[in-house]
Chain A
Amino acid sequence: MIKTGITLCQFLVLLFYFPLHMALAAEYTAHGIVDFRVSQIDSLDKGYLTSGQGKLGLGDGLHFSVAQIGADLSISWENGLSAHGVVNAYPKATSDGESTVLGVTEAYLKYRSLPTSSGYRFQTKVGIFYPEISLENNAYAWASKDTLDSSTINTWLGEEIRVLGSEFKVTRLGRMNNNKYDLSLSATAFINNDPAGALLAWHGWTISNRQTLWTEQRAFPWFPARADGQALAGQADKSDPFFELDHRVGFHARGEWKLRGKGEISAGYYDNRATPYKVIDGQYGWRTRFYHVGARWRFSKNLSLTAQYLSGDTLMQSESQVDVVNNDYASAFVALHYNWQAVVANKKHKSTLRIEDFSVTDNDDTWGDNNNEQGQALTLNHSYRLSKPWFLSAEFTLIDSHRPARYYTAQPVDLIERQWQLAARYFF
């Protein structure tokens, strides 16, 4: 904790001290989102955010909440350099859920060059940021653009995948090469993501809009292997996903092909290169690796698709290097978006249908820690743009999952959860 705290402080000082010494004209911008919601949930008593076995953020019942207050603050200069700080707050919902939290989710410096005469552009990013994977969370403050809650893939990325590192990206612009497509390749070297994989193992795939704040620790459900004398007795009560254990540098590489006016196809590979048998303050190293492929495509002016598949493994061992958790995992979603311009003669109505399939396969023999999981989810969203900044949305989510670990807390292994939400989201 202290270690990552210092790193963050040092970084923030750099971020805000450095700009003061820049003689160039700077532009300050503040963007963000405020998300007001009413949620009716039919699930278990406790959602995954409060160490429950429910797959949704909140538990059974009716909840009123400000689901996210996010601000994306930036300073940019003429020369292509910019500094970004993203702050998110998750106030406590009525009747249930975790306490109010506020913190930093991203903080980085970015430099984007001008394209060369042959159409190559270079971009570097240094700091705390999301590796470029999500195809859904591209609104300000990493909010999901077309749905209120992210898919299982992106809920996980928001919870456990964040890095302190540097990314280098090169883009070849087709416009300057008489091509209709742009190509880009990026490579990221990073630290501070060693326990990633723990929460996915212990609460499985989930659906919400919650992002873990930098240095924040997250709860997970109880299971017998955590009892005294058992294999995971040494594990801390909460997991600290953005912790650095072994000073080994992880990496993420990604490529993207983008056809102007049509869409894009991307693929990437992440490996945190954590030492799986190292443990500090109850936080273990989890060697987590996955690849991801995704596409966004416009079939017509009104109909478009977003789809992504992520698959990988994670390994956590005892200090004597015996496998304690050895999981494979995969999740995929296909989302179709329809703009009702043809019917309503404006761009104010948009519907999204998203279907998902997810799984975790437990390959180890640890007693009292069954991580197996299988499930499907369906999300239906309809959003109406009331005015430029205001979006009204109605969203229904259905999750059907088989999770043997629920047996440990006397809850049904096979569970169908439902969530109805109404939201007013204000973007600025």
Chain B
Amino acid sequence: MVSHPFLLRSALLHYCVYISSLFFISLAAWSVEACSKENATCVQIHVKNVNNNPLENMVVYIEPLMGQVLPQQSKTVEISQHSKSFIPYISVSQSTAKVNFVNNDDITHHIYSADSENKFSFKIRAGKTDSTAQFDHAAEIAMGCNIHDWMSGYLLVVDTPYFAKTDEQGLASFTLKALGKYRIVVWHPQMRSENNRMIIEKDLSMGDIITFTLQKNMDDIPVQKSDDDFDFLSDY
């Protein structure tokens, strides 16, 4: 019996349509998070620098102050080590969420946090994923690599599912399950203010837009790059 390759392919095509439509549906499901002014429980946070220009990659999180019900974020956070740097530089996760460290380099890294309350360290070999580090309470974790000193990354663990990083327009928007009084925090490790954050407590109402304007310029974000680009350096 001779099989017909063309028929076989068109049969596969059928599956492809199913698979790709599933993919589009799942994309639609993810985009529910974003909200607009028309949405009743949408809150928009703008972050601007001293010159009133939008600031990107600022962490914004919203904590309830009246015991409002919070959904649990089940999304796994992924912190990658790539080109001997932490990518992203800042990660945010809800406490108890799973955090995966993924080494995309072809060398071993020795990831650590030296903070006394959130101390951890592990070596992660080329191409491996490590999820042994557990983060079960709010914390601001500065991470480094004990082999490559220039590597620097942050993990902010928060007790709320409402967190985001501002986009290019300096905007972060949230769809809240319930309105009421909340604490809105903007954080960045290089923000020059007390505890590297700005805080507003507010009774949030429908379609609120809140703007944070920094009082001082940000510190320089450290460049995660070796002073020497030679790949075969021995550590004498």
Residues of B within 8 A of A347 (CB): 229
Q: Pick the residue among A31, A130, A140, A261 that contacts B227 (CB under 8 A).
A: A261
Interface check A386, CB cutoff 8 A: no
Do residues B149 and A142 form an inter-chain contact, with CB atoms below 8 A? no
Min distance, Cβ B63 to any Cβ of chain A, angstroms: 26
A427 at the interface (CB under 8 A from B): yes
Question: Which residues from chain B contact A141 at a C-beta distance below 8 Å?
Answer: 234
**B147 (CB) vs chain A CBs: closest residue:** A112
**Smallest distance from the beta carbon of B219 to chain A beta carbons, Å?**
8
Q: Cβ of A27 and Cβ of B114 under 8 Å apart?
A: no
Q: Quick check: B114 and A115 within 8 Å, CB to CB?
A: yes
**From residue 42 to 83 of chain A, which have CB atoms closer than 8 A to chain B?**
72, 76, 78, 80
Contact B146 A138 (CB under 8 A): no
A192-219 contacts to B, CB under 8 A, are none
Question: Known contacts A27-B108, A117-B115; is A130 also within 8 Å of B236 by CB?
Answer: yes
B232 and A175: CB pair below 8 A?
no
The answer to whether B149 touches A116, judged by C-beta atoms less than 8 angstroms apart, is no
8 A Cβ contacts from A239-287 to B = 260-264
Contact call B236/A261, Cβ cutoff below 8 A: no
Partner of A175, one of B110, B144, B229: B144
Q: B114, B149, B232: which has the most chain A beta carbons within 10 Å?
A: B232
Which residue of chain A lies nearest to B226 when distances are taken between CB atoms in the complex?
A261
Within the complex, the shortest CB–CB distance from B114 to chain A, in Å, comes to 5
* Contact A298 B227, CB 8 Å, known A115-B146, A173-B149, A175-B149: yes
With A and B bound together, what is the CA distance between A121 and B145 in angstroms? 12
Q: Which residue of A lies closest to B229 (CB)?
A: A347
Q: Give the size range of B's interface with the partner.
A: 20 to 34
A114 touches B112 (CB 8 A): yes
Most buried by A among B146, B222, B227: B227
Which range holds the interface residue count of chain A?
35 or more
Among the listed B116, B119, B225, B232, which residue makes an inter-chain contact with A261, where contact means beta carbons less than 8 Å apart? B225
Would you give the 0/1 interface string for A113-143, flagging 1 where the beta carbon is closer than 8 Å to chain B?
A: 0111101010000000110101001111110
Q: Is the CB of A80 within 8 A of B229?
A: no
B223 surroundings in chain A (CB, below 8 A): 260-261
User: CA separation between A31 and B108, bound complex, in Å?
Assistant: 14
Q: Please, how many angstroms separate the alpha-carbon atoms of A116 and B161 in the complex?
A: 32
A140 — which chain B residues lie within 8 A by C-beta? 232-234
Cβ A114 vs Cβ B227 within 8 A? no
Is A176 part of the contact surface with B, judged by Cβ < 8 Å?
Answer: yes
Contact B231 A427 (CB under 8 A): yes
User: Can you report 28 A-B residue pairs in the complex whose CB atoms are below 8 A from each other?
Assistant: A27-B108, A27-B125, A33-B232, A80-B146, A114-B112, A114-B114, A114-B146, A115-B112, A115-B144, A115-B146, A116-B114, A117-B116, A117-B119, A121-B146, A129-B236, A138-B233, A138-B234, A138-B236, A139-B232, A140-B232, A142-B236, A145-B232, A175-B142, A175-B149, A176-B144, A261-B150, A262-B227, A428-B232
Residues of B near any A CB (own CB < 8 A): 108, 110, 112, 114-116, 119, 121-123, 125, 142, 144, 146, 149-150, 152, 222-223, 225, 227, 229-234, 236
Given contacts A27-B108, A27-B125, A114-B121, 15 further A-B contacts (CB under 8 A): A27-B123, A78-B123, A112-B146, A115-B146, A119-B114, A139-B230, A145-B232, A175-B142, A182-B149, A260-B227, A261-B223, A263-B227, A347-B229, A388-B231, A428-B232
